[in-house]
Each structure stands twice: as C-alpha cells, then as structure tokens.
Amino acid sequence: MGGRPGKNGLTRLELKIMQVIWKHGASTVTDVQNELEQPLAYTTVQTMLNILERKGKLERELQGRAYLYRAKVSEEKAVGQSLRDMIDRMFGGSSEELVMSLLKSRQIDAKRLAKLSERFSKREEDEQ
C-alpha cells in the first residue's frame, strides 16, 4: 500500500493517515477518509488504521458504534524514527554522508547549509 517502511517507519499511506490524525486529533474512520486527498474505500482506511494501531502508532477507543483513533506517537518522534531508519539503510548510519549526498546532488548548497547551521546553533542556545 505504498512505500516500504523500515522497522519503525511508515509507508506513504500510513504517513498520510497519521498526518490527518496529527492535524485533526482523535478521528473516526470516516473522519480520516474524508480528509485524505486520495479517495479510498472505507474498509481500506479502516484496515490501515488497525495496522497503525497494531504497530503502536495509534490507540483506539470505542465511542458509541465507532472507534476513535488517537496518535500514540508525536509527529516529531515519527519523523525522527523514519529519518534514522533512512540514514541507517541508505548511508550506513552516517548523518554526515546524508548531508554530503544532499550537497553532491545539489539538493542543498553550502550557503543554505551554513544558514541552517546558524539556525540550529541559535536553537541550541535558546534551549539552554
């Protein structure tokens, strides 16, 4: 159903569903179905939500006749897990190799990298 995840990662469809939950909070299958950009059958959305619940990404609670699904992991944590998995798989666990690949493929230039480094340093100072 779209994209191969790593051990903690999310497929593309799982990520789109999680983004709906993160944006709108606790949601029913119908709520999620209505918010997705691509039209999917109710049963497909229900199956994906149940998979995410089994993976520990969502929790569900019966309200009336419908389950309400809530995120168990924050967007920040899920992004971090997926990024770590991608770095492990694609760059042998080296963040530096990821950055070098971005530079080599011209996805980012040295000037932009310097600006990001400044932002990161400022953020670190603010957190102390």
Query: pLDDT digits over 51-97, tens only?
Result: 999 999 999 999 999 999 999 999 999 989 888 989 999 999 999 99
**Domains of the chain by start residue, with CATH:** 1-93 (1.10.10.10)
pLDDT of residue 9: 74
Contact 27, 20 (CB under 8 A): yes
Short-list 107, 22, 7, CA closest to 72: 22
pLDDT of residue 14: 95
Distance CA 29, CA 95 (A): 37
Q: pTM of the entire structure?
A: 0.74
Distance from C-alpha of 84 to C-alpha of 69, rounded to nearest angstrom: 26
Average of per-residue pLDDT across 32-57: 96
Indicate the average pLDDT of the chain.
90
Rounded to whole angstroms, how far apart are CA atoms 66 and 46?
11
